[in-house]
Amino acid sequence: MRDNRLVRWVLGVTLVLLLGLLVHKVRWEEVEVEDEAHGKAATDPYYSLRHVLQGAGARLEVRKSLETMPPADATLLLESELWDIFPEREARLRAWVEDGGHLVLLSPHARGSDERLRWVPLSSVDPRRKAAPVAKKPPDDDDEDGEDVDSDGDKKSSKDDDHRNDKDDAPAHKQTPQQKEQQRRRADKLGRMFGITLPERGCAIFTETSATTKPAFEPGRAYRGCTLAGALRPLDHAVPTWLLAGSRGTLAMRVPVGRGDVTGVTPFLELENHDLLDGDNGLIAAAVLQAAPGRSVWIVEDESREPLLGWLWHEARTPLLLALAAVALSLWRLMVRFGPREALPPQARRSMGEQVRGTAQFIAGSDAQALHAATRKAFEDAARPRVEAWAERDDADRIAALAQSLAPAVAIDAAALLAALHVGGGATRQQILAATAVLEQARRAILRASAARHTS
């Protein structure tokens, strides 16, 4: 009994120690796991932006080409790097802005790095001139090309960077692995574009500075933007009408151009589904795009065209079908066949008459004089037995004696026969063949007369 109690007591103490050790060593942490996008949000990266704009009364259109310009007083966000593959597009874009259009340019399109938009009075600072984020910038660095500006275009004091609010530097909400990978790819793309390593994305407070004459919402509103910021400055003495800046730098600046305006954003604008819902990114996007009731917002992405085969089918269907039919027939004719294309004629020996006629046709086609000479020899061989002293006579006496020896039923034309015998070398092929036919008819008449005499 005592042994059983001792064993139970030891086991109980061991179990309690193991449980205590487990509780002491195990650490519980809460991990935020977001649901995967489903429905329309899984296929449309601007699904959240559409709802934000619809709430403001605007509508969104995503285009793959700038072949047609947006309506007047619309907002155009130009993301494509190939928007000006045709030279006339830049002039059309400038005319559209000067007539009242609202253009939004991301940092790669600003005048400082894009020679195609010289008429835009904005310049983004080349990040390659900056080795680190703004807060780590030495106080004696040359800020000529990299400073932020206030409402008067003057440089900001470096004290703003020294008094950065720790709350503003708080990172954005925890991201899923897919979001982190997407953010990493975007940072790598922009880093290759600018030739630097961009800082990690975080959140900061951005406010409309005193340069703002047309606030997006109520005056003095602060926005918690979870995005990167850079530096923008006006050019050609342009006065900004709207400027959104914070401790991280300038996020957006708007300058008038004709009756319209151009808004520059550095380095990009958070518009995709998850990023738009982070912090006040949705409000910032609505302010940059100037969402208003009835306004159309266009986003022009990378230039793309319909595949060649699809374009041919839609624009030239009939010629395409005819060409395909011709190709199919050509291939069918070249296919290996298991028999002749048509029935072969029966094999049989040709008669002597067919052989003679075939030979005569061949000779007539190649050498009509030879055929005439052969026919004359055959005529003389048939006429010689019917005329006495054939060798002593000339052709005229021979023909006259031959005509007298023949019966009226087989009479011959002596003049035509004499002319046929003396066809000259200058005669044409048709004349030679006609003379040959006269000689052959006379020979057959002699043969018929000889056959009639023997039968009688």
> Which pLDDT band holds residue 182 (cuts at 50, 70, 90)?
low
Q: Between 192 and 425, where is the model more confident? A: 425
Cα 404 to Cα 15: distance, rounded to the nearest angstrom: 155
Q: Are residues 261 and 168 in the same domain?
A: yes
Q: Between 172 and 453, where is the model more confident? A: 453
Q: Are residues 98 and 228 in the same domain?
A: yes
User: In this predicted structure, what is the pLDDT of residue 127?
Assistant: 43
| CA 254 to centroid of chain Cα atoms | 36
Mean pLDDT of 128-146: 38
191-230 pLDDT tens trace:
555 454 455 567 889 998 877 777 888 888 889 998 888 8
383-424 pLDDT tens trace:
888 888 888 888 888 888 888 887 776 778 888 888 888 887
Residue 338 domain flag? no
Q: Are residues 293 and 392 in the same domain?
A: no
Q: Are residues 186 and 94 in the same domain?
A: yes
In this structure, what is the dihedral angle of CA atoms 85, 87, 89, 92, given to the nearest 10 degrees? 180
Residue 27 domain flag? no
Number of structural domains (the chain) is 2
Q: Is 50 exceeded by the pLDDT of residue 130? A: no
Mean pLDDT of 54-75: 92
Q: Is 90 exceeded by the pLDDT of residue 133? A: no
Q: For residue 389, give its domain range.
A: 353-450
Mean pLDDT of 41-62: 92
Q: Which amino acid, residue 304?
A: S
User: In this predicted structure, what is the pLDDT of residue 170?
Assistant: 44
Residue 437: how many CB atoms within 10 A of its CB? 13
Q: Are residues 48 and 129 in the same domain?
A: yes
User: In this predicted structure, what is the pLDDT of residue 101?
Assistant: 95
157-174 pLDDT tens trace:
333 443 334 444 444 445
Residue 445 domain flag? yes
CA–CA distances in Å: residue 136 to residues 131, 139, 140, 172, 302: 9, 9, 12, 21, 35
Q: Are residues 291 and 377 in the same domain?
A: no
Q: Are residues 361 and 289 in the same domain?
A: no
User: In this predicted structure, what is the pLDDT of residue 163?
Assistant: 38
Count of CA atoms in the C-beta half-sphere (13 A) of 405: 22
Mean pLDDT of 51-64: 92
Q: Tell the residue number behind the tokens 């997407």, with chain if given.
A: 182
Q: Between 95 and 231, where is the model more confident? A: 95
Residue 28 domain flag? no
Biggest alpha carbon–alpha carbon distance for the chain: 171
Q: Is 50 exceeded by the pLDDT of residue 298? A: yes
Q: Is 70 exceeded by the pLDDT of residue 456? A: no
Least confident of 114-128, 151-165, 219-233, 288-302: 151-165
Residue 2 domain flag? no
